[in-house]
Structure 1
Amino acid sequence: MDEEFRGRVVTNEELELFCMQLAEYEMHHHCSLYKYFFNDLVYIVETLDSTRILSELNYRNIVDMEYYVSLKKQCGDSVFSVMLIQDIFDLGKEAVIGLWGSLFAIQNDYPHPNLLGVLDEISRLGPLLLDQINLDENGVALPKDLKDIQDVHRQNLLGKTQQLVEHQAPGLSHPQQSFQISDRYLDLIVVSTKQFRTRNQHEVIDTGGVHEHYLQATHIKLERISPNKLFRWCHRSSCLPHSVLVGGVPGVGKTTLMQKFVFDWVRGELYQRFSFVFFFKFRMLNDIKELSLVDLILKEYPYLTTKLETLFSDPANLLFIFDGLDESVQQMDFRSERLCTSPQIQESLSVLVVSLVKQSLLKGCYILITSRPTKLALIETKNFQRVSEIMGFFPKERKLYFDKFFLDEKKSEMAFNYVRENGILYTFCYIPSYCWILCTVLSTCFKPQEMYFELLPKTVTQLFVTFFANILTNHSRDTSQVPALLTSLGWMAEYGVMEHVLGFESCNLKTFGVNYSSQLLSNFMVESGQGPNVTVSFFHLTIQEFLAALVHYLDYSHEKLQESLDKARRFEDGRGEMFLRFLCGLSDSNTRAVLQKHLGNFSPKTSVDVINWLSNTFSMNVRPDRESDDKRKILNMFASLFESRNRALVAHCLGANKKFQFPEFHLAPLDCTVLAFILECCRDPELVDLDTCFIQTEGLERLYTILHNVVELRLTNNDLKDTDMKFIYRILTNPACKIQNLR
Structure 2
Amino acid sequence: MQQKFECVFEGIAKAGNPKTLLNQIYTELYITEGGTTEVNQDHEVRQIETASRNPHRPPTTITCEDIFKTPPDRDQPIRTVLTKGMAGIGKTVLTQKFSLDWAEDKANQDIHFIFPFTFRELNVLKQKKFSLVELVHHFFTETKEAGIWIFADFQVVFILDGLDECRPPLDFNNTQILTDVTESTSVDVLLMNLIRGNLLPSAHLWITTRPAAANQIPAQCVDMVTEVRGFTDPQKEEYFRKRFTDEEQTNTIISHIKTSRSVHIMCHIPVFCWITATVLEDVLKTTDRRQLPKTLTEMYIHFLVVQAKLKNVKYHGRSETDSPWSPETRKMIKSLGKLAFEQLKKGNLIFYESDLTECGIDISSASVYSGVFTAVFKEERGLYQDQRFCFIHLSVQEFLAALHVHQTFINTGVNLLSGQTSVWSKLSKVKPVQFYQTAVDQALQSPNGHLDLFLWFLLGLSLQTNQSLLQSLVKPTGSSSETNKKTVEYIKKKISENVSAERSINLFHCLNELEDGSLVDLIQQYLRSGRLSTEELSPAQWSALAFILLSSEEDLDVFDLKEYSGSEEVLLRLLPNKQLDQTSQIWISHFNQINNFILIPFVLSRLSGCNLSERSCEALSSVLRSQSCSLTLLDLSNNDLKDSGVKILSDGLKSPGCRLDTLRLSGCNLSERSCEALPSVLRSQSCSLMNLDLSKNDLKDSGVRILSDGLKSPGCRLDTLRLSGCLITEEGCSSLVSALQSNPSHLRLLDLSYNHPGASGQELSALVEDPHWRLDTVRYGLS
Range of TM-score over shorter length = 0.5 to 0.7
The match for 2:391 among 538, 541, 551 is 538
CA spacing shift, 1:198–1:270, aligned 2, 3 Å: same
Matched residue, 2:250: 412
Q: Provide Cα deviations, 1:124-158, integer angstroms capped at 9, x if missing partner.
A: xxxxxxxxxxxxxxxxxxxxxxxxxxxxxx44544
- Tell whether 2:639 aligns with 1:639: no
1:623 aligns with 2:501: no
Q: CA deviation at 1:246?
A: 0.8
* CA drift at 1:687: 9.4
> Which residues of 2 match residues 180-259 of structure 1 at below 5 A?
180=19, 185-187=24-26, 189-193=28-32, 194=34, 195-212=36-53, 215-219=54-58, 222-234=59-71, 238-259=75-96
Q: Which residue of 2 aligns with 1:734?
A: none
Q: 2 CA distance for matches of 1:609 and 1:507?
A: 39
Task: Decide which of 305, 318, 328 is 1:481's aligned counterpart.
Answer: 328
Residue 266 of structure 1 corresponds to 103
Equivalent residue number for residue 357 of structure 2: 510
Once the two structures are TM-superposed, the CA of residue 350 in structure 1 deviates from its matched residue by 1.9
- Secondary structure class of the residue paired with 1:392: coil
Matches within 5 A, 1:30-69: none
Assess if the C-alpha contact under 8 Å between 1:552 and 1:606 holds in 2. Answer: no
Query: Which residue of structure 2 aligns with residue 374 of structure 1?
Result: 212
Q: Deviations over 1:687-712 (max 9, x none)?
A: 9989879999x99xxxxxxxxxxxx9
Aligned pair 1:575/2:450, yes or no?
yes
Hey, what's the Cα distance between the residues in 2 that align with 1:164 and 1:603? 40
Change beyond 3 A, Cα 1:439–1:492: same
Partner of 1:27: none
**1:516-536 Cα deviation digits (max 9, x unpaired):** 234444332222346884222
Describe the superposition over 1:648-689 as per-residue Cα deviations: whole angstroms up to 9, x where unpaired. Answer: 79999x9x9656665999869764489xxxxxxxxxx99998
Equivalent in 591, 603, 607 of residue 719 of structure 1: 603
Residue 338 of structure 1 deviates from its aligned partner by 1.8
- The match for 1:589 among 464, 474, 477 is 464
Q: Which structure 2 residues correspond to residues 696-711 of structure 1 after superposition, within 5 A?
A: none
How large is the Cα RMSD of the aligned pairs?
A: 4.0
Helix, strand or coil for the counterpart of 1:446?
A: helix
SS of the residue corresponding to residue 537 of structure 1 reads strand
Equivalent position to 2:199, from 350, 361, 369: 361
**TM-score of the aligned structures, taking structure 2 as reference length:** 0.60
What residue identity is the alignment partner of 2:457?
A: F
The reply on whether 1:466 has 2:302 as its aligned counterpart is yes
> How do 1:67-106 and structure 2 match up within 5 A?
none
Q: Are the structure 2 counterparts of residues 237 and 396 from structure 1 closer, same or farther at C-alpha, using a change threshold of 3 Å?
A: same
- How far the C-alpha of 1:547 sits from its partner, in A, is 0.8
Q: Distance in 2 between matches of 1:539 and 1:614?
A: 31
| 2:266 equivalent to 1:428 | yes
Residue 41 of structure 2 contacts residue 212 of structure 2 at CA under 8 Å; is this kept in 1?
A: no
CA distance in 2, matches of 1:207, 1:244: 21
Which one has a larger percent helix, Structure 1 or Structure 2? 1
Superposition map of 1:310-329 within 5 A: 312-315=151-154, 317-329=155-167
Specify the SS of the correspondent of 1:391: coil
Does 498-507 or 524-533 show the bigger shift? 524-533
The 3-state SS of whatever aligns with 1:312 is: coil
**Structure 1 letter corresponding to 2:235:** E
Q: Is the 8 A contact 1:284 1:528 kept in 2?
A: no
Give the number of the structure whose alpha-carbon radius of gyration is greater: 2
Q: Quick check: 1:302 aligned with 2:175?
A: no
**1:311/1:668 CA distance change after superposition, 3 Å:** farther
Structure 2 residue 327 is matched with structure 1 residue 499: no
Report the Cα distance in structure 2 between the residues aligned to 1:354 and 1:695, rounded to whole angstroms.
34
Q: How has the CA–CA distance of structure 1 residues 463 and 189 changed in structure 2, closer, same or farther, with 3 Å as cutoff?
A: farther
Return the alpha-carbon distance in structure 2 between the equivalents of residues 292 and 181 of structure 1: 39
Checking the alignment, whether the CA contact within 8 Å between 1:555 and 1:603 is kept in structure 2 is: no
1:163/1:178 contact within 8 Å kept: no
Shift of 1:290: 1.6
Which residue of structure 2 aligns with residue 42 of structure 1?
none
Q: TM-score, normalised by structure 1?
A: 0.63
- State the AA in 1 paired with 2:375: N
Query: Residues 346 and 374 of structure 1: is their aligned pair in 2 closer, same or farther, counting only changes over 3 Å?
Result: same
Cα distance change, pair 548–247 in 1 and its aligned pair in 2 (3 A): same
Distance 1:179 1:167, change over 3 A: closer
Residues 127-206 of structure 1: pairs in structure 2 closer than 5 A: 154-166=1-13, 179-180=18-19, 185-187=24-26, 189-193=28-32, 194=34, 195-206=36-47
Partners of 1:644 and 1:540 lie apart in 2 by 23
Provide closer, same or farther for how the CA distance between residues 576 and 692 of structure 1 changes in structure 2, counting only shifts above 3 A.
closer
1:526 to 378, 389, 393: 378
Q: 1: CA distance between counterparts of 2:385 and 2:335? A: 22
Q: Which amino acid aligns with 2:512?
A: F
Equivalent pair of 2:6/2:100 in contact (CA under 8 Å): no
Amino acid across the alignment from 1:547: L
One-letter amino acid of the counterpart of residue 645, structure 1: E
Label 1:607 to 1:159 Cα distance change in 2 as closer, same or farther (>3 A).
farther
CA contact (8 A) 1:283 1:324 kept: yes
Whose relative contact order is higher, 1 or 2, with alpha carbons under 8 Å and at least 6 apart? 1
Instruction: State the one-letter code of the partner of 1:601.
Output: K
**Cα drift, residue 274 of structure 1:** 0.5
| Deviation of 1:562 (Å) | 4.6
- Name the stretch that deviates more: 642-651 or 200-209: 642-651
How many angstroms apart in 2 are the aligned matches of 1:190 and 1:334?
Answer: 27
Q: Distance in 2 between matches of 1:562 and 1:609?
A: 19
In the TM superposition, residue 161 of structure 1 has moved relative to its aligned partner by 4.3
Q: Which runs of 5 or more structure 1 residues have no equivalent in the other structure?
A: 1-153, 169-176, 675-684, 700-711, 722-743
Identity of aligned residues (%): 24
**1:205/1:668 Cα in 2 relative to 1: closer, same or farther (>3 Å)?**
farther
- Which amino acid in structure 1 is aligned with residue 406 of structure 2? Y
- For 2:102 and 2:84, the matched residues in 1 are separated by 21
C-alpha displacement at 1:479, in angstroms? 0.4
Residue aligned with 1:352, SS: helix
More deviation, 579-588/295-304? 295-304
1:555–1:183 Cα change, 3 Å: closer
Aligned partners of 2:71 and 2:191: how far apart in 1? 22
Q: How does 1:653-672 map to 2 (within 5 A)?
A: 671-672=551-552
**CA drift at 1:333:** 3.3
1:37-74 CA distance string (max 9 Å, x none): xxxxxxxxxxxxxxxxxxxxxxxxxxxxxxxxxxxxxx
Of 234, 239, 255, the residue aligned with 1:401 is 239
Q: CA 1:650/1:393 → structure 2, altered by over 3 Å: closer, same or farther? A: closer
Question: What's the counterpart of residue 293 of structure 2?
Answer: 457
Contact 1:207-1:391 at 8 Å conserved across structures: yes
In structure 2, relative to structure 1, the CA distance for the partners of 1:188 and 1:274 (3 Å cut) is closer
- The aligned amino acid for 1:483 is R
Using the alignment, how far apart are the partners of 1:608 and 1:166 within structure 2? 47
Whole-angstrom CA distance in 2 between matches of 1:248 and 1:444: 30
Unaligned runs of 5+ in 2: 317-324, 420-437, 525-535, 555-563, 584-595, 606-783
Cα deviations by residue, 1:327-380 (Å, 9 ceiling, x for unpaired) = 222223344552332222212222222222222212211111111111113432
User: For the residues of structure 2 that align with 1:548 and 1:567, how far apart are their CA atoms?
Assistant: 15
Q: Distance in 2 between matches of 1:398 and 1:647?
A: 27
The alpha-carbon deviation at position 646 of structure 1 amounts to 3.7
Corresponding letter in the other structure for 1:230: I
